[in-house]
A and B are shown apart, each in its own frame.
Chain A
Amino acid sequence: MGNEPERMAKIKPPRALRVKFGRGSMFGEPGNVERQRRIVMDALEALQTMVVPGTVRELSYQWRR
């Protein structure tokens, strides 16, 4: 997972999800069990569907403190 596109471009993870959440909360707002679960499910799906090295999928979920 990641949340900083520029840094991810340098690190080049083999497969990754990019979230729009800030540092310190990669899974969004505290207590949102469904959102956290959804992101883990997204990760499992990405694992099975990403076939091109370096693929980064941006998740659209948004939340601000």
Chain B
Amino acid sequence: MTDGVVRDQNGNLSKQIGKYKVSVIREKCIAAASCVAIAPGVFKLDEEQIATVISQDGNDDETKLLAAQSCPTAAIVVIDTTTGKQVWPLIE
């Protein structure tokens, strides 16, 4: 059981990468680009000015979740790959 914290081989803390998988609901995207600003290693706007995932490992999980939470239209879905459960948006 981990709390999302990982350590490198020397025991130093490093931020978790790869537990969260993100995807974009294209129809919801309004090109506000907060995801791009927060997690530029994961998101960019494509030719149609719609957010797209360029890499799941470009930023740590905490940053990916923050990018999803910052999306004004809840267009970014975050799945915890270890449980298969949707982390964001919250399922009410």
Partners in one complex: no
Which residues of B line the A interface, CB within 8 A?
Answer: none
